[in-house]
Amino acid sequence: MENQNLTEQRNALMLFLWNNRKSLLLFTGAAAVISIIISFLITPLFLSTAIVFPAASSNVSFSEQRNVKAAAMDFGEEEQAEQLVQILSSSRIRDRVVKKFDLFAAYDIDKNDPNKNYKLNKAYNEHFSFARTRYGSIQIDVLDESPQRAANMANDIVDLIDTIKNEMIRERTLPAFQINLRKKQQMEKERDSILSKLESLAALGVLPNDARATLYQALVDSKSQDEKDEIRKKIELNNKYGSVYDGLEYQRNEKIVKIEDFRVSYEQAESDANANFTHKFVVERAVVADRKEKPKRMIIVLVATVGGFLFGLFFLLIRQRIAELKLNA
């Protein structure tokens, strides 16, 4: 009994399709023609892809330069890959690409439009994508109506990775370097002030401690009265300012030691602030695509054609059901 009902329903459906074959063909054909026209009106987009691996994390303050080199030679792990995706998705990258390739004009967005930034971000996100692959690399995909521009933008983003990340590092290290620079300049200023005072005393005739001890022997060995008077003046001068000279010499030596001890810290801060690290390994640079990525015209036509057939079938079934209800009313 159940099999008989199924057979009757199947036969009824086949009969319905046959009786409405012209209408169904009209719906299906119209959908196919419209989809073909639309698919050719859609601007074709070309895809360029670049693939990079993140380098191992480079901490700013390295105690040994070989650690920097070692870090630069190691592939990064999941954490570094996620960080790199965040940098690629940041406004730092986007703003430079937008400006360099004039994407406002490319995406036909009026710069006077109050919603220009929203429209630009939406268009940018539709044309650019950054994702971590299952191999731990980062895939950079760029779609554009110009295959050359798509490749250029993808490669430009690859080159911007080191630039942007080094800028971020310098934002953190530059203030520390500036503090160290001011400290170094202050220490050198104090040292130069001490040296200037020592030079002034030396110009007056004040001698270092060791040289002052020889004045008394020179007085004993002197032959003439004029020579003795001259040496006595020197002794008197050195007795008056000798202790000052000795104190300045002590300060000078202490300052020189401090400057030398500080030199290592200063040079490290300077190196951190000016270093340009490599934060990526380029596996594959983008090339100019020789065939479009979108639209997939065959898929559009097939989906639209099937959709047109189903819509026509649904419409005819509803129309027949309404007619039956009116007839039975």
DSSP 223-247: -SHHHHHHHHHHHHHHHHHHHHHHH
Q: Looking at residues 136-156, what average pLDDT do you find? A: 92
pLDDT of residue 298: 72
Terminal-residue alpha carbon distance, the chain: 30
Domain ranges of the chain: 21-172+277-313, 174-274
Across the chain, the runs of DSSP E, i.e. the strands, are 46-54, 128-132, 138-144, 280-284
Give percent of the chain above pLDDT 90.
19
What integer is the mean pLDDT of 234-249?
Answer: 87
Burial 111-141 (b: 16+ CB within 10 A, else e): eeeeeeeeebeebeeebbebeeeeeebbbbb
Name the DSSP class of 212: H
Q: 157-202, pLDDT tens digit by residue?
A: 999 998 888 888 887 888 888 888 888 888 889 889 999 998 988 8
- What would the two tokens of residue 96 be? 């430079």
Residue 62's pLDDT is: 43
The confidence band for 1, taking pLDDT boundaries of 50, 70 and 90, is: low
Which of 63-67, 220-224, 252-256 shows the lowest mean pLDDT across its residues? 63-67
**pLDDT tens-digit series, residues 253-276:** 999 888 888 888 888 877 777 777
Q: Give how far the C-alpha of residue 148 lies from the chain's centroid of Cα atoms, to the nearest Å.
A: 23
Q: What is the pLDDT of residue 313?
A: 72
Whose tokens are 């006595």? That residue is: 232
Superfamily (CATH) of domain 21-172+277-313: EIF_2_alpha (3.30.70.1130)
**pLDDT given for residue 82 in this prediction:** 87
Which range scores top for mean pLDDT: 40-49, 58-67, 126-135, 317-326? 126-135
Q: Which pTM does this prediction carry?
A: 0.62
The residue count of the chain comes to 329
Q: Is the peptide bond before 114 cis (omega within 30 degrees of 0)?
A: no
Cα–Cα distance for residue pair 36/300, rounded to 1 Å: 8
pLDDT digits (tens, 9 = 90+) for 2-39: 566 667 667 766 776 677 777 777 777 777 777 677 66
